[in-house]
Structure 1
Amino acid sequence: MKRIGVLTSGGDAPGMNAAIRAVVRKAIYHDMEVYGIYNGYQGLMDGKIEQLNVGSVGDIIQRGGTILYSARCEEFKTDEGQNKGIEQLKKLGIEGLIVIGGDGSFQGAAKLTAKGFPCIGIPGTIDNDIAGTDYTIGFDTALNTIIEAVDKIRDTATSHERTYVIEVMGRDAGDLALWAGLANGAESVLIPEKDEPFENVVDRLKRGSERGKKHSIIILAEGVGSGFEYGKKIEEATNFETRVTVLGHIQRGGRPTGADRVLASRLAGKAVDLLLDGKGGRMVGIQNNQLVDHDIIEALNQKHNVDMSLYQLMTEISI
């Protein structure tokens, strides 16, 4: 291939810019032309495409978000929308496409590949919910954002002798909540993958109070339910003064960590290699610190599994 495109789609994630940078510069190193597609699949259909050069991606590796912007696009789920996108790519002679995003973005890449246009998916989502890779771009940065926020909340919880319920992102995956709970020493972590009886949470809080503990932290993944509703239940069951914090979209922003910058660069380099080999319909990932690639349809049909050994460890050391 001599001419490829790159786009970001779905929710933004810290490290996407590092991935864009690596795609552009590695491709140019191999004498390829790279075209940036703005506003995701919507921009693809609308022809918001321009050639990128080495300077286009200068000074972006440290920036959160995505310089190509992102958007969700219902029309692209249709045959008509996909054909519009392919027409725009063919008009510019683009021969392959790299898509950086989550499972919805990968669905679009799979559809294009099925229509004969080779695409490679790079997993970029703070949720860490893509099968076929141990980590996704943005997860480590979002985790550290949560850790810093909870550390600060704990200061207030200690000063006022309160119980805090902190709702974090992750959609239907509990990785962010679980890792943050373990890193922050939370008393309880509630994730979609584990049905933790409410009585267990209450008993843990009461045992802590009986031994003189003045504050507690409970981390709840958004896929479990509302943090405000859970906080109200806790207060009614224990009579402990309880406050709720929903961290929200602050978890998506910020400078990517070193881990995310390196991961993004490695995955992007692998994606370019696959296109150079004429391959499409693949996703790249990292497993046991080794770069891998999988059939994108097979990856989408698999379920991401949270590491339940971490949950067990958290339970054992939060007594």
Structure 2
Amino acid sequence: MPKNDQPWLGIDLGGTNIQAGVMVGEGKLLARDSTKTKAEEGADEVINRIEKVVGKVLDAAKLKPADVAGLGIGAPGAIDVDKGVVVKAVNLGWKDFPLGKALGKKLSLPVMVDNDVNVGTWGAYRAGAAKDYQDVLGIFIGTGIGGGLVLGGKLYHGHHMSAGEIGHTVVCADAPRGRRTLENLASRTSIANQLAALIRSSHESVITELTDGDLSKIRSKVLAKAFEQEDRLTVEVMTEAARVIGIAIANAVTLLSLEAAVLGGGVTEALGKPFAKLVEKSFREHVFPPDLAECPIVASTLGDDAGVIGAAWLARDVLGGS
């Protein structure tokens, strides 16, 4: 059977969880499972945990390793795609770790390694909200802000393998150091810190009640509840976050003449269409030339499966030659 007709494994490796799935066809998952990463126990233990969760999804799909064509994995941090090496991943504590080689040896499968946001963007392009476009920006808003680029139907890495890192672009040059980049201003971490500081300085917010007074518990679901209840403070902070995200997208679309931008990540998924509309409004106000304002800003439709499906699709495209 040709490789592209076989199942493909996709792994989304995060600092907290490992998500795994078996994909067939155009993005259907036969089985899916997850486990804790436990990066503090070392890289070898993470590899062992990946092996175990892969075994679980194969069993659930009633497959053997020999039935699978290959495996794709999205990992955080800087990735040398050609060598399959995690150059640096702070939340895993890894430096120059040969992830592709280690997994290939453990599972006896061909392995494709890329950055986690790149595979999420590829998933949106191949099987999600961006599948009708050839030039796409993926922007994922969570603990941090990551981005990926598909240009001419191909995942674009750039000379230093860091293309698409929109979270590190400057959107407020005259702000104090540490408050200039998109990630500094609009990531979930930044939003939570802003809200906590305002509440501590006597601003009223329903967030105090939603977190039982523990402001360290401000997560995406809390933000979504407060936003849905039209909490004034939350709406103000989220509107400003959406404004700078829209500016960053406008800059990227103007520079590269992109067809579409897809929004994903925990914050986007939790707050849904109302937040995406705020981002789109800012984008349309700042993009140039005016005809680029027709570029659609779409929300990811794959949810938590974006990384798994994207990794499996990327492996299929690179290793299977589709």
TM-score by length of 2: 0.31
Which gives a bigger RCO, structure 1 or 2 (Cα 8 Å, sep 6+)? 1
Q: Bigger radius of gyration, 1 or 2?
A: 1
